[in-house]
Amino acid sequence: MATPYPIPASVPFPHGASDARGAANRGVAAWLFVCCALVFAMVVVGGVTRLTHSGLSITEWQPIVGTVPPLSDAQWQEAFAKYKLTPEYRQINTAMTLAGFKGIFWWEYAHRLLGRVIGLAFLIPLVWFVAWRRISSALAAKLIGILALGVVQGALGWYMVQSGLVDDPRVSPFRLSAHLGLAFAILAGMLWTAMTLRRPQRAAPDAPAQRTTRRLAFFLAALVFAMVLSGAFVAGIRAGFAYNTFPLMNGHLVPPEILMLHPPWMNFFWNMATVQFDHRILALVLVVVTLLLWWRLRTSPGLPSRAARGSNALLCMLALQIALGIATLLYVVPLSVAALHQAGALLTFALTLNVAHALR
């Protein structure tokens, strides 16, 4: 009888067992990469949902029943009647017709449906892998943890939507930032696990200078994540519709309104000038740190070639991402460019994790 996967590395493999374990690892990694692609699509669709102001069109959270959209005229009228009770309709969209409502409804419905698809795409294979002992208990625990984060993400998404159904027809930027940040954290968990399964070997023990390079890569990943949260606040308070000039902000390097709110801490979350200024400064810091990492990977001997190649892709992606950010600002948040900018944030984050993983 063949030894079931996984087999501890310290135990000699029967004939073909190592190949079986490698094949199982590749299968699990491929599944996780597919899930990463679905999360990528989910974030992009979520960005379009926000940009088209569609996120408040569905006023109830029905994880099971809500899978089926309105199918008859009566059901559409019922859904539209519920939307008419929201502050967004009463304050902004009072002239909206049923046809216009359907336009925003389908974006939010697609976003929620994709969330359900991701849940099933993750849960069903996970149950199979565990039931047939295709993964170790340690890996199963990690994957169950990621699944739990996915459940929290769904609840957090509804918690975010609720904030725009009370008085202010905009969702809380704090909840939006948490929702987006958790999506990136879920992507990071799945991507890191998949890369580890595909490339289980680690870099050899290295010199202090090489350890510094590795720490720099992890710092860069944290910095990109902070940049993402900063972007969520820019989107949450719609700061991208102000100061639509570059490199100056309406003729100023530092806008005079940057500390106009009191107490001062409020400026970092509610002041358009401060929030956008912080986002610009973080972009500049990202450029400096990325260039430093790229340079160190070429001057420090003995580092994996995969890390150097990955830094090339990262540098190119960061340049494109900054160009998209500037275009989003100058053209006052056009839908297509802004959606590409959000997609670029995901790709930049993934490429940063790739370099950090190569140096682990």
Tens of each residue's pLDDT in the chain, 360 residues:
344 444 344 334 444 555 666 777 889 999 999 999 999 999 999 999 999 999 999 998 888 878 899 999 999 999 999 999 999 999 999 999 999 999 999 999 999 999 999 999 999 999 999 999 889 999 999 999 999 999 999 999 999 999 998 888 889 999 999 999 999 999 999 999 999 999 887 666 666 767 889 999 999 999 999 999 999 999 999 999 999 999 999 999 999 999 999 999 999 999 999 999 999 999 999 999 999 999 999 988 878 889 999 999 999 999 999 999 999 999 999 999 999 999 999 999 999 999 999 998
Domain stops at, among 200, 221, 237: 200
- Centroid of chain to Cα 311: 20
CA angle 172-336-333, nearest 5°?
A: 50
Whether residues 339 and 222 share a domain: the answer is yes
Q: How many residues are there in the chain?
A: 360
- The widest CA-to-CA distance across the chain, in whole angstroms, is 75
The position carrying tokens 């720490």 is 215
What six digits make up the tokens of 210? 């090489």
Q: How many CB atoms lie within 10 A of CB 144?
A: 12
- Asked if residues 105 and 57 have their Cβ atoms less than 8 Å apart, the reply is yes
Looking at the fold, whether 270 and 180 belong to one and the same domain comes out as: no
Question: Are 307 and 351 contained in the same domain?
Answer: yes
d(CA 40, CA 346): 7
Per-residue DSSP letter, 136: -
Q: What confidence score (pLDDT) does residue 19 get?
A: 60
User: Is the domain of 233 the same as that of 245?
Assistant: yes
DSSP character at residue 97:
-
Q: How many CB atoms lie within 10 A of CB 16?
A: 11
Range of the domain at 77: 1-8+16-200
Q: What pLDDT does residue 7 have?
A: 38
Residues 70 and 191 in one domain: yes
The pLDDT score that the predictor gives to residue 72 is 94
How many domains is the chain built from? Answer: 2
54 with 183, same domain?
Answer: yes
Mark whether 220 and 286 lie in a shared domain: yes
Backbone φ, ψ for residue 298 (5° rounding): -100, -15
pTM metric for this prediction? 0.91
Residues 212 and 230: their CA atoms lie apart, in Å, by 26
Q: Please count the other Cβ atoms lying within 10 Å of the Cβ belonging to residue 24.
A: 19
Q: Which one of 200, 218, 253 terminates a domain?
A: 200
Phi–psi pair at 160, nearest 5 degrees = -65, -45
- Tokens representing 10 are 């310290």
Q: Please, are residues 186 and 321 in contact by the beta-carbon 8 Å criterion?
A: no
Residue 185 near residue 149, CB atoms below 8 Å:
yes
Q: Is the previous residue joined to 200 through a cis bond, with omega within 30 degrees of 0? A: no
Q: Would residue 133 be called left, alpha or beta, if left means φ above 0 and alpha means ψ between -120 and 50 degrees?
A: left
Q: Which residues 6+ apart lie within 8 Å of 192 measured at CB?
A: 353, 357
Q: What is the pLDDT of residue 122?
A: 97
Residue with tokens 């100061």: 243
The residue from 200, 232, 250 where one domain ends is 200
Q: Which two tokens stand for residue 135?
A: 């993964």
Do 36 and 120 reside in the same domain of the chain?
yes
Same domain, 164 and 217: no
The angle at the Cα of 125, spanning 120 to 130, to the nearest 5 degrees, equals 130
Query: Do 241 and 258 have their domain in common?
Result: yes
In a shared domain, residues 157 and 99: yes
Nearest alpha-carbon partner for 85 in 169, 155, 160: 169
Residue 203, pLDDT score: 60
Burial string for 47-84 (b: 16+ CB within 10 Å, else e) reads bbbbbbbbbbbbbeeeeeeeeebeeeeeebeebbeebe
110 with 255, same domain: the answer is no
The pLDDT value recorded for residue 299 is 87
